Structure 1
Amino acid sequence: MTVTADVLDRVPSAPSVRLNRALRATVKQATRVLPGSAVGLRLARAAIEVGCIAAGADRLPHTRVRTATDRGAVHGEWLGPAATPGELVLLYSHGSAYAVCSPRSHRAFVTDLAERIGRRAFSLDYRMGPEHQFPAAHDDIVRAYLWLLAQGHRPEDIVVAGDSAGGHLSLSLCGELRRLGVPMPAGLVLFSPLVDASFDTAAAAYRRSNDPVTVPGFARRVIRHHLSTGSANDPRFNVALEAGPDLPPALVIAGASEMMRGDAELFARVQREAGGHCELQVWPGQIHVFPMLGVVPEARLALDEVTRFVAELDAVAHASDVG
């Protein structure tokens, strides 16, 4: 596997610099005073969904899944028609603090990502706060992965990916698979993942990143609606505890200007210390989950890195099949 520098030697593009300035003057100032209440989150969630519909998200091909399994319900959507057994699959979990966003809000991004890496994508619709408490979302991703296996998809044909809270879910999934004795997926792609759900790591990193999007207090107010029932010694909550040499190879992409870079660096460090493979890329001048932002050229370049990483995973798997 290719290993790149932890902090890329790249000057931030002019569009990303302008975007950071605009966000710092608007969104960040709003998060200083927004309460992050349950009512506010429900309103924000509804507004995001309406905005996505207005932007044409529902015109993108997708196949909704609502199915029952022995372990409980699986909810989500295939981008396009449902995958058939033997196809390469991407299992994706969206972010946004276990409180807002959905497969609809991420539909365009996941469609583009799946096309780039040559996989059929299943986008998980997991339970969030304030309606549902930890570990509901964790249980949902475990069910979804086991359901994919039951549909005839081999573990080595599955790549698991997620952004922010979805990255946290991706890591908690792998730890649960270890405990269940179920084979791991081929690889992990994590965009600005949440790792330390207490938010202490992010808060410490905020002092050096001066995140242009939000402040630690607001993030804590939002994420507590789902994670308040978790504890620091639970590896499903503090997924740094899931590190180990048996985890799949991971590509972690974060922005140097976001407080979540601390979580990305934490996981890369503990995973390498545990003898596992983790490729960390911290992109100068970039914000939280910047690969989703088509307005900055770094987004395309970061997705090129994902394409390269997954192609390397596939080459290894293909060599094993031939052997």
Structure 2
Amino acid sequence: MLTDESATDSSERGSWRSRHAATLSSLTLRQISAVLPPGQPWGLWASRQIVARLMDAFGPSMAGTRVERVDVTTADGQRLCGEWVRGRGVSGETPGAIYFVHGSGYVLCSTRTHRRLASWLSRLTGLPVFSVDYRLAPRHRFPTAAEDVRRGWDWLTGHCGIAPERIAVAGDSAGGHLSVDLLLQPDVAHPAALVLLSPLMDLTFTLARSREQTRPDPTMRSHHAVRLVSLYCNGIETRHPRLALDVAGGRLLPPTLIQAGGAEMLAADAIALADDLRAAGGRCELQIWPDQVHVFQALPRISPEAVPAMRTVAAFIAETLGDAEIERAS
């Protein structure tokens, strides 16, 4: 693992299994993403099937997991969908929770694809995870996903009565962008902690392209990613304040842990976000894991580094929730 002080150092290497998986991805996934047209129904369907099967095949175990589906009408008459995920040994009596916002490029994934990762996170932390099932593009465009994420937060803190300081927010990829957008809103009471896995921040992929010039991402090229994300924000100016998030000039965000893979193009987003969080006066720990692919934490069966990375996430959440509890009591 490389901390932010050595994030550009290439002397440290990932495991042989991780490097082999990255090479295999460059020969398969990157080629497939180049030919599947996400704007066509059949291409979108195929992309969703491929991602779902990869997450199932190489994700963590679901043994002992309990899943409770949520489909409710909120106080403002809007529908909220999601699910409570409790890993093995996690009871329903725990006072805190994790609010999980899955990635997908706003298009591909769901609570179902990320259920294994949510279960593992629950088991490691001892906390129940509420995973919001926000609506996907291209059927539902900007700002639908952001509105659903906000609705889930309001339901969790309002209807469920869980104090914000007893909640950690976690998001991966586009879910990272949605999580940061949520917490930048001036009327949102902040949680105890924010955890971001391979966060997408620059929706123009300018940062990603700069990194791609020195090390191509093994799973996708930047121009293919732009094509995917545009299904969500098509017709909206990329400088819109809910898309081009002003982290450095915005609210002070909660203590944040950012993890990204050294082999992925979004490592550039992670580094830039950490810089912006600190510029705003926040506490941020950045970890770039050598030779790891995008959201490697969800793929422990091919990435041994997923295990220590997730243990680090769990320790960070335990520490920040404990700090928030001490502050609340003092």
Question: Structure 2 residue aligned with 1:298, among 305, 318, 325?
Answer: 305
Question: Structure 2 residue aligned with 1:41, among 44, 49, 55?
Answer: 44
Alpha carbons of 1:267 and 1:52: their partners in 2 closer, same or farther (altered >3 Å)?
Answer: closer
Query: Given the alignment of the two structures, is residue 142 of structure 1 paired with residue 145 of structure 2, yes or no?
Result: no
Contact 1:91–1:158 (8 Å) recurs in 2:
yes
SS of the aligned residue for 1:230 comes to coil
Partner of 2:119: 111
Deviation at 1:240, TM superposition (A): 4.2
Uncovered stretches (5+) of structure 2, i.e. residues with no partner: none
| TM-score, L = length of structure 1 | 0.90
Q: Distance in 2 between matches of 1:53 and 1:28?
A: 19
Q: Distance in 1 between matches of 2:260 and 2:197?
A: 6
Cα displacement string for residues 154-198 of structure 1 (whole angstroms, at most 9, x for unaligned residues): 00011111110111111011012x2x2x31111110000010112
| TM-score, L = length of structure 2 | 0.88
Partner of 1:26: 28
Deviation at 1:280, TM superposition (A): 0.8
Q: Distance in 2 between matches of 1:85 and 1:13?
A: 39
Alpha carbons of 1:139 and 1:218: their partners in 2 closer, same or farther (altered >3 Å)?
Answer: same
The one-letter code matched in structure 2 to 1:189 is V
Partner of 2:284: 278
Partner of 2:104: 96
Q: Distance in 2 between matches of 1:45 and 1:109?
A: 17
Partner of 1:309: 316
Q: Distance in 1 between matches of 2:113 and 2:258?
A: 22
The one-letter code matched in structure 2 to 1:187 is A
Partner of 2:163: 154
Contact 1:57–1:104 (8 Å) recurs in 2:
no
The one-letter code matched in structure 2 to 1:142 is R
Uncovered stretches (5+) of structure 1, i.e. residues with no partner: none
Contact 1:245–1:271 (8 Å) recurs in 2:
no
Deviation at 1:49, TM superposition (A): 5.4
Name the count of aligned residue pairs.
318
SS of the aligned residue for 2:305 comes to helix
Q: 1:49-128, aligned counterparts within 5 Å?
A: 60-71=65-76, 72-80=78-86, 87-128=95-136
Alpha carbons of 1:129 and 1:188: their partners in 2 closer, same or farther (altered >3 Å)?
Answer: same
Q: CA RMSD in A?
A: 2.6
Partner of 1:219: 225
Q: Which moved more, 1:226-235 or 1:108-117?
A: 226-235
Deviation at 1:16, TM superposition (A): 0.6
Contact 1:57–1:105 (8 Å) recurs in 2:
no
Deviation at 1:268, TM superposition (A): 0.7
Contact 1:63–1:78 (8 Å) recurs in 2:
yes
The one-letter code matched in structure 1 to 2:314 is T
Q: Share of identical aligned residues, percent?
A: 35
Question: Structure 2 residue aligned with 1:164, among 167, 173, 197?
Answer: 173
Higher helix proportion:
1
Query: Given the alignment of the two structures, is residue 188 of structure 1 paired with residue 165 of structure 2, yes or no?
Result: no
Q: Which moved more, 1:267-276 or 1:239-248?
A: 239-248
Deviation at 1:31, TM superposition (A): 2.2
Contact 1:38–1:225 (8 Å) recurs in 2:
no
Q: Which moved more, 1:6-15 or 1:197-206?
A: 6-15
Cα displacement string for residues 274-306 of structure 1 (whole angstroms, at most 9, x for unaligned residues): 111111111111111111111211111111111
Q: Which moved more, 1:127-136 or 1:241-250?
A: 241-250
SS of the aligned residue for 2:190 comes to coil
Cα displacement string for residues 97-121 of structure 1 (whole angstroms, at most 9, x for unaligned residues): 1111111111111100111122110
Alpha carbons of 1:68 and 1:229: their partners in 2 closer, same or farther (altered >3 Å)?
Answer: farther
Query: Given the alignment of the two structures, is residue 129 of structure 1 paired with residue 137 of structure 2, yes or no?
Result: yes
